[in-house]
Structure 1
Amino acid sequence: MSNGIPCPGCLDTRSRVLETRMVVEGLRRRRLCTGCGQRWTTVELSAAAPVPVVAPVAACVASPAERGGPRKQRH
């Protein structure tokens, strides 16, 4: 199978994926060259997805004055 990633030993682009593992950086793949039999590891970095910004809960809660209700007296 040709995947375009050249073997570091013979530069043949025919290799097989033996194992795929998820790591923090993305995917780690263990490969086997079908030309010379050398094994090597590649890491496919994942693109960072944009993180949605969420307002703090306190900013979403209206104060008693904004709700139109009476304020409680502190003793």
Structure 2
Amino acid sequence: MEFRTRRARTKSDGYERTGYERKVDYLADPDIRTEEIYLITVDETGPTTTTIRYEPAANNDRANANRHAGYRLETILDEL
């Protein structure tokens, strides 16, 4: 699942793109297929998008994968 970590809006002189750093602590993203909500801290997001994986990567890269179970709303709230 991929979601954007910055917003863009059209202006008369082009696009304005801004991130969420120092504005929010977490970004929330619902998955309508599973009816789950995922939270990720802004500090853990990429500059433009962040991906949460349901399955292991094809190259078996586990170090750089955001596994969905660790970002479920219930999981994050239990840790707070």
State the TM-score, normalized to the length of structure 2: 0.24
Question: If each structure's helix is expressed as a fraction of its own residues, which one has the higher value?
Answer: 2
Q: Which protein shows a greater Rg? A: 1
Specify which structure has the bigger relative contact order, considering alpha-carbon pairs within 8 angstroms and separated by 6 or more residues. 2
State the TM-score, normalized to the length of structure 1: 0.25
